[in-house]
Chains A and B, each alone.
Chain A
Amino acid sequence: MPGTRPAETGTVVRVSSGAIALLVLGLGLVAWLSARAKAQAFAGPGKARLHSLPGYHGWYVALWAVIPALLFLAVWSSVSGGLVTASVLDSPAAASLPAEPMQRGAILDEARALADGTQEAAFNPQATALAPEYESAQSRMAIIGTVAALLLAFAGGAFAFTRVSPNFRARTRVERLVMALLLVASLIAILTTLGIVLSLLFESLRFFSRVSPIEFLFGTSWSPQTAIRADQAGSSGAFGAIPLFWGTIFIGAIIAMIVAIPLGLMSAIYLTQYATPRVRSWMKPLLEILAGVPTVVYGYFAALTVAPAIRDFGLTLGIPSSSESALAAGLVMGIMIIPFVSSMADDSIAAVPQAMRDGSLAMGATTSETIKRVLVPAALPGVVGGVLLAVSRAIGETMIVVMAAGLAANLTANPFESVTTVTTQIVQLLTGDQEFDSAKTLAAFALGLVLFIVTLLLNIVALRVVKKYREAYE
């Protein structure tokens, strides 16, 4: 909000960029109304026929008024801070500042806080001396910014306003701009993904400069604790990720799928082939609720309910069991994945043409023979695609394994024992106070990169399989 406060150096103007933006938008509204009115004046009985509706002219002028000004504001707000500091440093009061950058920075920060009013008194007298400089520089910059933004808004609006005429193709231009906006929206998602990949890649490269990729990918010992002090004992760190990969596959791709594939497939078959429409109409949404349960809820269900039961069961069988077992995490993850498998299978079975079903039934096949011999084979590629997507989802799943799978990097095929997964270890490596330049924390990025690549490949393969299969019936 604009406000003034008398100070030693004269009137201080504080304008937040939000307020300027509101002002610019207000100007935009004025531009819209006046341009529309101008366009409407052209039209009417006996007058020229407008190329575009008056509203489009309004939008055209309003966008010209608003967009350049807002773009300027965005740029200005990022550079004005630097300009303020530069001008303060140029002032005579700044000549006495210490040359050492850290102290200098501290004093400047304090002066800025005084100027902003967030701090009442300064610890350093030099800061008190600089505060008025800051205030005046800030107010200068604020005035420049405000005036420039408003000028731009006026100029843009006026330029566009002069172009409003019956033959002006405002509609085409506005629509082109809308298209550009849509493009930007889609680019943002893509660029973000790219940024994530690059950050993963660079951090991973830093990791691989300390630990060789061969050791990371093929080593069988995982113990990421590195010594903080050189004289600490026994913790040089070992970064062989095989136990993690194994744990991830064991839980996500083996145990979870042993649960999810048969249950998901069978429920899809029941729902598409046997259930009456009424049963289907309440069972299918109910099944899909499973997909909506937050994974953390599954996590404590696994850790508090399933894991102890499985440990007791294992112990009665005389198998060495721990309270955090691969089986518990895998079973619960399998349950979580059922809706994925079942809805993909449901879709692909439903996509098999009714003519196939009729053809088989007309041969005297029973419903179950039809399912076994015609529907499932025909729907198989879609089902496989669904399963691959489910696997990729399962190996990236974090909460359940963090809570139920344990931390010990065991290389074991005994489902009653504790194993750990890639996602669990990433959480472990990055929680707590960590320096972000040790091999220990950097390992998290390498693990993330591997996980990313694997799930990406799985998704690509799965989508291809599904797509190819869809084409077969179209």
Chain B
Amino acid sequence: MTDTSINDIAAHQRADHRGDERPKMTAQGVSVFYGDKKAIDNVSIDVNRENVTAFIGPSGCGKSTFLRTLNRMNDTIGSARVEGRIELDGENIYSPDMDVVQLRARVGMVFQKPNPFPKSIYENVAYGPRIHGLASGKADMDQVVEKSLRRAGLWDEVKDRLQDSGTALSGGQQQRLCIARAIAVDPEVILMDEPASALDPIATAKIEELIHELRGRYAIVIVTHNMQQAARVSQRTAFFHLGHLIEYGDTSEIFTNPRETRTKDYITGRYG
């Protein structure tokens, strides 16, 4: 995986416009436990608004676990416990006042395996707006659905069969449907947990293109195993190893000039 191509891509991005860099989400001293096992140890990180942040690292390094703390999806796992402080626009999301339902409407998530509901394409996208009451009436909902599908780059492919089952689409289309579903509630942050790892190269390319287009409108955090992907789509990269945040910085820096030997070893393919 060492190759100049990564460096090229990353170097190319240095010149790229990096957008508003005020932090959207801030984590301070976050540790996550599964029962007695510590999965994440004292991680502090800022997620920039209008930027794509990539979490990379070998399997089991805790990057997905950390991602799930950002919209409290770890709450669904009984034994998980989170320590430390995570803020969304300066508001502690783990405070008792925070409504997890509101939080997840603001911080959406796309999963590793496409998981459309066994409903029609239309109903999949309308799901979020419906439960949050974001659309009044059929015409309004139609508009929300169309807008979301357009943003997810899926509209032209499905506009004639909105009533077909979402599960009947191809894998790549299903994943874009899930992205459309996530952006239908107009979130501020979108978390993507290896969104392309179950897809073929063409579908992957489409997802990456889509991430480019969504950038700027949403703060995006993407977990990926694929370092070229991290280099291609992100402006900031965080390298996790064994539950620790080893290095965090501009993607171009991480890939061309990492400060830590462990980062260097990983991105040059020495392990992982």
Contacts and interface: CB of A to CB of B under 8 A. Distances in A.
B119 interface: yes
| Residue of A353, A357, A360 ringed by the most chain B CB atoms within 10 A | A360
A290 interface: no
A361 interface: yes
| Residue of A361, A362, A365 ringed by the most chain B CB atoms within 10 A | A362
Interface stretch (A200-208, A300-308, A366-374): A366-374
Contacts of B96: none
B111 A363 contact: no
Interface in A69-116: none
A356 B181 contact: no
Contact of A363 (B102, B105, B113, B118): B105
B129 to A, nearest CB: 10
| Residue of B76, B113, B115, B116 ringed by the most chain A CB atoms within 10 A | B115
A365 B76 CA distance: 12
Contacts of A317: none
A318 interface: no
A374 B117 CA distance: 7
Given A359-B178, A373-B131, A364 B104 contact: yes
A358 B68 CA distance: 11
A362 B108 CA distance: 6
B115 A364 contact: no
Contacts of A276: 78
Interface in B24-77: 71, 73, 76
Contacts of B101: 364-366
A363 B181 contact: yes
B76 A358 contact: yes
A361 B119 contact: no
Contacts of B185: 363-364
A108 B115 CA distance: 81
B115 A363 contact: no
Given A353-B115, A355-B111, A355-B113, A364 B78 contact: no
A470 B271 CA distance: 40
B217 interface: no
Interface residues of A, number: 21
Interface residue tally on B, bucketed by range:
20 to 34
Contact of B102 (A353, A360, A364, A369): A364
Contacts of B270: none
A291 B36 CA distance: 39
Given A364-B185, A373-B127, A277 B117 contact: no
Contact of B117 (A356, A361, A364, A472): A356
B65 to A, nearest CB: 14
B78 A363 contact: no
B128 A364 contact: yes
A364 B184 CA distance: 12
Interface in A337-386: 353, 355-366, 369, 373-374, 377-378
A359 B117 contact: yes
A369 B131 contact: yes
Nearest to A370: B131
B115 A359 contact: yes
B104 A378 contact: no
A364 B132 contact: yes
Contacts of B115: 353, 355-356, 358-359
Contacts of A277: 78
B168 to A, nearest CB: 11
A276 B101 CA distance: 21
Interface string B76-104: 10100000000000000000000001111
13 contacts: A277-B78, A359-B111, A359-B117, A359-B178, A360-B127, A362-B71, A362-B104, A362-B109, A363-B127, A364-B102, A364-B128, A364-B185, A365-B131
Q: Which 8 A-B pairs have the closest CB atoms?
A: A364-B105, A355-B115, A364-B104, A362-B109, A359-B115, A363-B128, A364-B101, A365-B131
Interface of A: 276-277, 353, 355-366, 369, 373-374, 377-378, 472
Given A359-B117, A365-B128, A378-B118, 5 more contacts: A356-B117, A363-B182, A364-B102, A364-B103, A364-B128
